[in-house]
Amino acid sequence: MDLPVSPSPRLDGRHALVTGAGRGIGVAIATALAELGAHVHLAARSAAEVEEVASAVRARGWQASALPLDVTDVAAVQAAVDALPVLSVLVNNAGTNRPKPLAEVTLDDFDAVFGLNVRALYVVTQAVVRRMLAAGAGGSVINISSQMGHVGGPNRTLYCGSKHAVEGITKALAVELGPHGIRVNSIAPTFIETAMTRPYFAVPGFLDQVLAKIPQGRLGRVEDIMGAVAYLASDASALVTGTSLLVDGGWTAQ
């Protein structure tokens, strides 16, 4: 009897681009992809940060290149992507949040959040997908969304709105690009403990409010995102597209 063979999670010989790769979740994503054999290109505005991460990855014997890049600069994005090898994996991780009550939100806040979380994601994806299509080799696009792309939350109209937009873009691109062998999915984490989120938990009562919404009773860790990225980047998810992988400890199940 012939038994089926499990799809390989390996990414040997493939090139991956991770935005927002200088810290936090981005570092974890880059590490996961590099450990599976991909050559990872680490993009972030701070050259010092991405070079430090790339050096640490290479010290493990894996492949990584630093790519100082402001993903809100359209011309710079196009030039950077054109200079890279054709990518097999894109992880749009760069993002920001400015939580405020509606009455206090400024247009600068709006432009900053939507400019990075939506516009830059779209521009980077467009540049990468153009080359994927020209090469005819297919690929995997992974958008780091949020549980807030599925639900609402007080003081987060901008963040929720931007992440709901990411979910819509993900589904539309999955339909459009499916015939070309390009899969598009999102990962929607709950609150992940990083340097960016730590100040929020210093606000009295906020941590208790968050934990009360998570049936598993804990915050997310960057390691929780690594397995999700590894799955969606590899052939293990060959028939998965247009979906949002919720890594939220059960927040949205209620």
**Catalytic annotation, pick one of 122, 159, 200, 231:** 159
Residue 230 token pair:
């590894």
What are the residue ranges spanned by the domains of the chain?
Answer: 15-245
Which pLDDT does position 198 carry in this prediction?
87
CB 29 within 8 A of CB 250: no
Which pLDDT does position 200 carry in this prediction?
86
Q: What percent of the chain has pLDDT over 70?
A: 100
Q: Is 231 a catalytic residue?
A: no
pLDDT tens string 75-94: 999 999 999 999 999 999 99
Which pLDDT does position 87 carry in this prediction?
98
CB 230 within 8 A of CB 14: no
pLDDT tens string 210-250: 999 999 999 999 999 999 999 999 999 999 999 999 999 99
Q: What is the mean pLDDT of residues 144-170?
A: 98
Strands (E), the chain: 15-19, 39-44, 63-68, 89-92, 139-144, 182-189, 244-247
Fold for 15-245, please state it. Answer: Rossmann fold (3.40.50)
Which pLDDT does position 179 carry in this prediction?
98
CB 23 within 8 A of CB 193: no
